[in-house]
């Protein structure tokens, strides 16, 4: 039996393990000193009350023969797919419930969607980027071209005229940079994809953080996107579901390649290699989309965004260049004093007891940059920023 050689081409993935290891060493050497993390990539606020209530009710139903539910449709219950359609309708996007696929989170669907594409497609991925996109394609043996993000393009690269690729990943609001594409910029991408028969894989995991009414909250707010884009959304950060696992992927019926409906391919893939999301989780997700649920989750999102604003203000005071932080829970800053990412990591930890994520862990163009996240508690953020303002630079 031959293993998939693609796995041998994966580089060391242990960015967050390496961070954890260095933090462990620091703690061991500095037992009295408190470490504050501004690098948490996870939510910290609990589930909304209406979500908890809905999940409790669903668990109770599963305990009684008359209301017990076995297998659901692999693409998710109609009640939830319809709730997602209503959520889109409020954004001015009309979808049919059959275009919505409930999954266990964007990470799974972003990885598994690759099943429907031939191996010989060229993939375009930005640098810096969420590492899983790269790893999944290396595993699949695909050729990857990187598109440079930099201060010069505000980490919002656009296609140049000669750019060619079959599949492009866009993540907006972006992890790790927090940068958000405007409608005009996404239109350029959609036009490029339509002109080149390319497919856009649009990671929309952070759309709920967008506050600026001018910014797009779905790729489908762009004309023509239904013919070239698959959108991946998640309740992880939107509703605190990182430990509950629920997301939704939209594959419009208009998305046809080589005369084949990608919606039918994804349905076939999920029918064969997936068995649906927990009924309890789906009832929780349904509650998250009710007016009360949206309001309760909005409170959490605004809490994180206020953290981001405080971090952004501190960086502004310190004269440190950054992007993100106003429509996203991430802030991407340029390391001061031309420090490398890891040198700044070590400096921050040693001099301030603050943990962040070295930008170089997200790609070569992340060298010299650093990521803070807005998920810590308000108290931790305030104390970290006090230390940051006093850091010996």
Positions 89 through 148 that interact with its own copies (CB under 8 A): 104-105, 107-108, 110-112, 115-121, 132, 135-136, 139
Q: What angle, 0 to 180 degrees and rounded to 10, lies between the N-to-C axes of helices 15-29 and 341-352?
A: 30
Q: Return the number of the residue (140 or 320) whose C-beta is nearest its own copies.
A: 140
The residue within the footprint of its own copies, chosen from 20, 25, 30, 42 (CB under 8 A), is 42
Kindly state whether residue 219 participates in binding its own copies, applying the rule CB under 8 A: no
* Closest alpha carbon to 47 in 224, 239, 210: 239
Phi/psi at 187 (nearest 5 deg)?
-65, -40
Spatial separation of the C-alpha atoms in residues 110 and 204, rounded to whole Å? 11
68 is a site residue for its own copies (CB under 8 A):
yes
Longest dimension (CA), the chain: 67
- Residue among 81 and 245 whose Cβ is closer to its own copies: 245
Does residue number 224 form part of the binding site for its own copies (CB under 8 A)? no
Q: Does 293 bind its own copies (CB under 8 A)?
A: no
Of 93-101, 152-160, 178-186, 272-280, the window that binds its own copies (rule: CB under 8 A) is 272-280
Quote the CA–CA distance of 96 and 48 in Å, as a whole number: 27
Given the complex with its own copies, which of 32 and 243 has the nearer CB atom? 243
How is residue 359 annotated by DSSP? G
Order of strands across the sheet with 369-373? 322-324, 330-334, 369-373, 357-358
What is the smallest separation between the CB atom of 323 and its own copies, expressed in angstroms? 25
Q: Of 24 and 49, which CB lies nearer to its own copies in the complex structure?
A: 49
- Shortest Cβ 140–its own copies spacing (Å): 8
Strands 260-261 and 256-257: antiparallel
132 versus 318: smaller Cβ distance to its own copies = 132
Q: Is 45 in the site for its own copies (CB under 8 A)?
A: yes
CB of 213 to its own copies, least distance (A): 30
- Could you give the CA distance from residue 181 to residue 196 in angstroms, rounded to a whole number? 21
Q: Is 47 in the site for its own copies (CB under 8 A)?
A: yes
Told to check if 226 binds its own copies by CB under 8 A, we report no
Q: Name the segment binding its own copies (CB under 8 A); options: 21-29, 67-75, 173-181, 307-315.
A: 67-75
Among 144, 265, 310, 320, binds its own copies (CB under 8 A): 265
CB of 205 to its own copies, least distance (A): 11
In sequence order, the 6+-apart residues with CB closer than 8 A to the CB of 275 are 71, 74
Q: How far is the CB of 285 from its own copies (least distance, A)?
A: 11
Q: Taking the CA atoms of the chain, what radius of gyration do you get in angstroms?
A: 21
- Decide: is 69 part of the binding site for its own copies (CB under 8 A): yes
Q: Which residue has the tokens 């409608």?
A: 183
Q: Identify which of residues 12 and 214 has a Cβ nearer to its own copies in the complex.
A: 12
- Asked if 213 interacts with its own copies (CB under 8 A), we say no
Which of 29, 272, 319, 337 contacts its own copies by CB under 8 A?
A: 272
Strand 330-334, strand 369-373: pairing: antiparallel
DSSP strand pairing (330-334 vs 322-324): antiparallel
Work out whether 231 is an interface residue with its own copies (CB under 8 A).
no
Least Å from the CB of residue 386 to its own copies: 23
Q: 196 with 167: CB under 8 angstroms?
A: no
- Tokens at residue 373, please? 């996240």
What are the residues whose beta carbons fall under 8 Å from the beta carbon of 72, sequence distance 6 or more?
276, 277, 279, 282
Phi, psi of 30 (to 5 degrees): -130, 65
Q: Give the β-pairing of 357-358 and 369-373.
A: antiparallel
The answer to whether residue 389 forms part of the interface with its own copies (CB under 8 A) is: no
Q: Which of 20, 59, 391, 393 binds its own copies (CB under 8 A)?
A: 59
Contact at 8 Å (CB) between 311 and 331? yes
Mask 190-209, x = binds its own copies (CB under 8 A)?
-------xxx----------
């Amino acid at each position: 039996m031959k293993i998939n050689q693609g796995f041998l081409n994966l580089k060391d993935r242990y960015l967050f393990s390496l961070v954890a290891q260095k933090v462990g060493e620091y703690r061991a050497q500095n037992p009295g000193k408190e470490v504050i993390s501004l690098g948490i990539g996870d939510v910290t606020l609990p589930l909304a009350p209406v979500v908890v209530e809905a999940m409790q009710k669903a668990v109770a139903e599963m305990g009684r023969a008359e209301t017990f539910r076995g297998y659901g449709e692999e693409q998710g219950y109609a009640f939830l797919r319809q709730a997602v359609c209503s959520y889109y309708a409020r954004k001015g996007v009309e979808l049919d419930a059959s275009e919505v696929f409930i999954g266990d989170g964007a990470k799974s669907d972003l990885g598994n969607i690759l099943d429907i594409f031939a191996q010989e497609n060229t993939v375009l991925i930005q640098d810096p980027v969420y590492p899983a996109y790269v790893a999944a394609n290396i595993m699949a043996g695909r050729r990857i071209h990187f598109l440079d993000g930099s201060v010069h393009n505000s980490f919002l690269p656009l296609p140049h005229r000669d750019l060619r690729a079959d599949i492009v990943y866009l993540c907006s609001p972006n992890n790790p940079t927090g940068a958000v594409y405007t409608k005009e910029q996404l239109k350029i991408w959609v036009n490029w994809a339509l002109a080149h028969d390319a497919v856009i894989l649009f990671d929309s995991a952070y759309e709920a953080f967008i506050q600026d009414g001018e910014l797009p909250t779905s790729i489908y707010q762009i004309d023509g996107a239904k013919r070239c884009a698959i959108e991946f959304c998640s309740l992880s950060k939107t509703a605190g579901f990182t430990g509950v696992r629920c997301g939704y992927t939209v594959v419009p019926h208009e998305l046809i390649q080589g005369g084949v409906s990608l919606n039918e391919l994804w349905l076939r893939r999920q029918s064969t290699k997936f068995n649906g999301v927990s009924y309890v989780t789906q009832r929780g997700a349904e509650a998250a989309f009710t007016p009360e649920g949206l309001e309760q989750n909005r409170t959490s999102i605004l809490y994180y965004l206020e953290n981001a604003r405080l971090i952004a203000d501190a960086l502004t005071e310190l004269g440190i260049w950054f992007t993100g932080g106003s429509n996203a829970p991430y802030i991407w800053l340029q390391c001061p004093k031309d420090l490398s990412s890891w040198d700044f990591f070590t400096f921050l930890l040693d001099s301030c007891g603050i943990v962040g994520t070295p930008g170089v862990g997200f790609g070569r163009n992340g060298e010299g940059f650093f990521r803070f996240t807005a998920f810590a508690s308000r108290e931790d953020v305030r104390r970290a920023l006090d230390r940051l303002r006093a850091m010996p630079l």
